[in-house]
Amino acid sequence: MYSFKNDYSEGAYPRILTALMESNLVQEDGYGEDHYSRQAIELIKQKLGQADVDIHLLTGGTQTNLIAISAFLRPHEAAIAASTGHIFTHETGAIEATGHKVIAVETADGKLTTEQLQNVLDFHTDEHMVKPKLVYLSNSTEIGSIYNKEELEQISQFCREKNLILYMDGARLGSALCSSENDLKISDLPILVDAFYIGGTKNGALLGEALVICRDSLKDDFRFHIKQKGALLAKGRLLGVQFLELFRDDLFFDLAMHANKMADMIRDEIRNAGFTFLTHSPSNQIFPILPNSIISELQRKYAFLIWEIIDSGTSAIRLVTSWATKEEAVLEFIDDLKKTIIKL
């Protein structure tokens, strides 16, 4: 059974474990004040082309989202998200648990537009309603789509005009930036958004997300919030060493490139076989719509999620690739798929 269920089925990219081994017995200060974390942060700033950002290394996406959003907002302020957004339904109400409403917007493709944002602002007219204050985007989105530069620029400008905080969930930022359709550079982000995170967990690390705070007014006292939410690791070096390895060279991008390439191979094959997709997803998650008979056959050798029932005979499935996805497994999957199609 080979798994395409997600991009966190394996441990870490081996070079990262090696780095942990090599640094293991060096004595370091705790709580993120070690040399590895400091160096990793400097390296990321260099990649971003921005010295004037604050970077904090955290352990997971939900954790990063809830700490950032609760630190950025006052009690009456709310976040706006696509209804597919991770914070809206897949974080067990983590944002609400910190006191803030998440205002959901139905979208066609998991991406927000300025029109939708304007509608939200228009609806919230007075103090009987929450005050929409933060725009939450995921890139790539939870259904595999990505924002292009123009789209992000429009939203960025809108947020500035309306005094909204623009926050990007980058759990799969690597895959988004390495998509064949992408025209954003990582160095565009500090210019366009107020805060975002660079996802390590789904791109080669054991765990780890690098939160980048760009807007000055959001930076103060941030480490208090990390500690209060139980996210300040005693051995912060664990995160430092990993991000140092990911950004020492282009490993972070190489790994995402590989994941995308694996997804591209499967996507092309399925498209060529005449099937359609639930969403346009030029990243490491794809959602083909297949006859249930083919799905059943594939499930004998492969693990993946049934994403949505389309009709009585077809369903959309989710296939996810990662840095760890083996090319031979992809080729075998393609081969099995072809055989199944022929058989049926």
Which residues, numbered 185-244, are part of the site for a copy of itself (CB under 8 A)? Answer: 201-202, 206-207, 221, 223-235, 237-238
Q: Where are the alpha helices (DSSP H) in 163-236?
A: 173-177, 189-192, 222-228
CB 325, CB 258: distance < 8 Å = yes
d(CA 234, CA 258) in angstroms, rounded, equals 33
Interaction between residue 311 and a copy of itself (CB under 8 A): no
- For residue 74, state whether it binds a copy of itself (rule: CB under 8 A): yes
Compute the half-sphere exposure of residue 169: CA atoms within 13 Å on the CB side of its CA: 32
DSSP letter (8 states) at residue 203: G
Query: Please, which residue, 168 or 238, has the CB nearer to a copy of itself?
Result: 238
Q: Which is nearer to a copy of itself, 26 or 108 (CB)?
A: 26
By CB under 8 A, the residues from 144 to 183 that bind a copy of itself are none
- How big is the chain by its Cα radius of gyration, in Å? 21
99 binds a copy of itself (CB under 8 A): yes
Does 33 engage in binding with a copy of itself (CB under 8 A)?
no
Residue 66 touches a copy of itself, criterion: CB under 8 A: yes
Pick 123 or 180: Cβ nearer a copy of itself: 123
Q: Which stretch binds a copy of itself (CB under 8 A): 64-72, 135-143, 152-160, 333-341?
A: 64-72
- Give CA–CA dist 134/128, Å, rounded: 18
Q: According to the binding rule CB under 8 A, does residue 105 interact with a copy of itself?
A: no
Indicate the residue among 48 and 67 with the shorter CB distance to a copy of itself. 67
Contact 135, 102 (CB under 8 A): no
Give CA–CA dist 344/340, Å, rounded. Answer: 6
Applying CB under 8 A, which of residues 40, 43, 44, 63 lies at the interface with a copy of itself? 63
Residue 3 in contact with a copy of itself, rule: CB under 8 A:
yes
Tokens found for residue 91: 């974080």
User: What's CA 110's distance to the chain center, in Å?
Assistant: 13
Question: Nearest distance from residue 104's CB to a copy of itself, in Å?
Answer: 8
Q: Does 324 bind a copy of itself (CB under 8 A)?
A: yes
